[in-house]
Structure 1
Amino acid sequence: MSVLGKINHFRRGVMRNLTKNIGKSKLDGSIFLVDKNDVKRVLICRPNGRLGNLLLITPLVQEVSEMFPNCKIDLFVKGTLAPIIFENYDHVAKTIHLPKKPFKSLGEYFSVWISLKRQKYDVAINVDQNSSSGRLATQFSNAKYKFYGDLINEEESPKSDYDHIAKYPVYNFRNYLSKLGLKTSNKIIAPLDLKLSTSELLEGKKLLASMTDESKKTICIFTYATGTKCFSENWWEDFYAALKKEYNTYNIIEILPVENVSQIAFQAPTFYSKDIREIGSVIANADLFIGADSGIMHLASAVHTPTVGLFSVSNLKKYEPYDNCSIGIDTNTVLLEDYFKIIDSILNNGKLKYYSKAV
């Protein structure tokens, strides 16, 4: 770990210890929401700018929108991706975003925090209970009801999928609302959702058609990931060779990262774009996505293409793609031939979409 990495790790540890008890003393159940229809303004705090982490809050945004049908939602985030991701979310009014490098933009940094006090909210929600900045933002907000992301009733048996980072914020929020006297949903947690428009899907179909044989089904691969999550070139070259042999009647294309690199030396037809929604529209028209744990893996899940996530170091139960035949594979324990059994099963079951494939 670099010196800067060690400093950041130490800083995060200190901040967690300082903020872990913020809000806990106020969870006494002495106040109650009278009518969910009276909730007009909601603040959701997830001060993180990574693509994957922002996509992973879309189930909570959907839950809040359904629970409070008359509300408008502000998102307290970091960076500039959130407006792009939540472009088609009718309930999302605006994003309040911290600069990526606060020490280089101190004036902007402090003005963002001050803006939390200027807007009155009915409810403020911290997404991740372990986020120091999220807890502070919730505490600092001008909101009547403040939820800090904790599981209120710890005696309640958690769901079997509780460990997933997109799901436990929803379960915890439901738990909090029930403590306030509201009837909550028992529905399964919503999938990640980029909410692509019909025109975006049609454009994605055209882009995909320009690089493939339209008479064949298409498999997208993404060979990049950050840090230790990235598989070696040798691993990917062996996997790609086996995949190409096993699925010789399929189109296989590689989605390239913003760094414009390939772990298979650009052997497959490639698609490159810096536009997240455009990348999503192409993947949405494919029949399967395969890639390591990354923001693009979560993007594939968010456009409802069956997704095979390859995990070697990340916590699979916490980050695996779910819904629509998606699955996470522990590459440390699963053999290559078993990958193809899993892929066959997904491809044979077809593609169950939440919106129709572009035609």
Structure 2
Amino acid sequence: MTHFSNLKPKKVLFIATRQIGDVLVTTPLISKARELWPDAEFHFLGYKGKLEMLKGNPDIAQVIETSDRPGFGEYLSLFNRLFQRYDLAFVTQPSDRAYLYGLVSAFHRVGVLGGHPQGKQSKVVDKSNRQNAWKKFICMHTVDVDYFSQHVIAEKLRLLEVFFRNPLELFSKPIKVTPPIGEALTPVIAGELTQPYIVIHPGPLTAYKRWPLAYWQKIITYLAKRGFQVVLSASPAKQDLQLNHDIFSLLEDNIRKQVINTAGKLSIPQAGSLLRAASLYIGVDTSITHLAAACNTPTITLFGATPPTNFGPWPNGFIGDQPYQLRSRSQTVGNITILQGPGECVPCRKAGCLDRADSYSECLDLLEPTQVIDAIEKVLGQH
């Protein structure tokens, strides 16, 4: 049982040492904390290159960057910079390092605890319990991860439960994700946009979240014939640039003329500007999909192994703690449509069928382009 706390922190640190998508999903927590403590100063600690999602965020006074693998010297200077400077730290990731930063920096802490690995032997569970014991000990309140039935945004918001007499209040008003402020597109890209366009982002962080190349070719061809320009987006990562190049090379010449490949050329705030003016966004389970949702763009996303109940893009303004069902071939909430492939095993939360980063995912291979086209027609018919 968590006891209500009257703490009124003057300086607060939010810690999210992971990917850009993990940074974006902390923004509802930050907004809700701002309602609680209108005069507090908020800082944010995260990895270099992963904090563009916070650009222009009105609640964050200072962003502190660290390497994802700091050397001893960097640790030392970071610890000096953080040491007991804060009244409260929000540890939004269950990693040991994130907790260590929380311990060093603040007098009080609340944190997310990692769940037990699915179906593992009792030895692994015991180890997980031991790892969590010290984290619980140093926190005034903790929230357990639940990868199948708790949405990641609800998980972060529950870190505030201890500061509410009635924690249900956390989910009684519309909950919004705050995207970064926009940044002007380069004149070259802006000049190429001559008609209504649809943004497609085919490249996930890991191979097991990919949809087959030939399927993207069919979707792009279909959209071009419908009179849309198609803007291909990608991170600057080599495998993403290659993926978009491969898709581009499959297209017929007349279709290619209607496709703009912005791969690796846009900053996150520029991607936000591109998405805000798009007729539709189609992508896989990746951070740019969450950004599209946050920009209120009609969004279609293809989910395989990942449970949408945990990491589906948040429908902006949703009231409640769970927008989605665990398994549904197609579900639409607000501006978001989530499509899942067939199979009783969906979603498994493994790294694809082989449970490793470079695996295939049969559920995505069996998610037919016709299912995506039906969803496109439905969304375009409404807007």
**Residue 252 in structure 1 maps to residue 230 in structure 2:** yes
Partner of 2:338: 328
- The counterpart of 2:6, out of the listed 33, 47, 50, is 33
SS in 1 for 2:269: helix
- Residue 12 (structure 2) aligned to one of 38, 42, 51: 42
Instruction: Give 1:204 deviation, angstroms.
Output: 4.4
**Cα shift at 1:283:** 1.6
Q: In the TM superposition, what is the alpha-carbon distance from 1:71 to its structure 2 partner?
A: 1.4
Percent identity over paired residues: 18
Change in 2 beyond 3 A, CA 1:256/1:45: closer
Computed over aligned residues only, the root mean square deviation of the Cα atoms, in angstroms, reads 3.1
* Whole-angstrom CA distance in 2 between matches of 1:297 and 1:45: 22
1:1-359 aligned within 5 A: 29=3, 32-33=5-6, 38-48=8-18, 50-82=19-51, 84-102=52-70, 105-119=71-85, 121-128=86-93, 130-143=94-107, 145-149=108-112, 163-170=150-157, 172-178=158-164, 184-188=169-173, 190-197=175-182, 200=183, 203-204=184-185, 209-214=190-195, 217-227=196-206, 228-245=208-225, 248-258=226-236, 259=238, 260-261=241-242, 262=244, 263-265=246-248, 267=256, 268-272=259-263, 273-323=265-315, 324-331=334-341, 332=363, 335-350=368-383
SS at match of 1:265: helix
How many Å separate the matches in 1 of 2:64 and 2:45?
5
Note closer, same or farther for the CA distance 1:153–1:113 as it changes in structure 2 (3 Å cut): closer
Contact 1:47–1:97 (CA under 8 A) maintained in structure 2: no
Contact kept? 1:289, 1:300, Cα under 8 Å: yes
**CA distances 1:131-173 after superposition (whole Å, capped 9, x unpaired):** 3322332233232x3212369699xxx99x9622123211x12
Residues 207 and 282 in structure 1, CA contact (< 8 A), matched pair in contact too: no
Q: Is the 8 A contact 1:254 1:269 kept in 2?
A: yes
- Contact residue 42 and residue 62 of structure 2 kept, 8 A: yes
| 1:339–1:205 Cα change, 3 Å | farther
SS in 1 for 2:198: strand
Equivalents in 2 of 1:299, 1:182: separation in Å? 28
User: Aligned in 2, Cα 1:316/1:117: closer, same or farther, shift over 3 Å?
Assistant: same
- Count residues with an aligned counterpart: 299
Structure 2: distance between partners of 1:224 and 1:211: 22
Secondary structure of 1:138 counterpart: helix
Q: Distance in 2 between matches of 1:40 and 1:138?
A: 16
AA of the residue aligned to 1:231? W
Q: State the one-letter code of the partner of 1:336.
A: P
Distance of 2:48 and 2:74 partners within structure 1: 12
- 3-state DSSP of counterpart to 2:374: helix
Normalising by structure 2, what TM-score? Answer: 0.68
Q: Distance in 2 between matches of 1:278 and 1:222?
A: 14
Corresponding residue SS for 2:300: strand
Show structure 2 runs of 5+ residues with no match: 114-135, 250-255, 316-333, 342-362
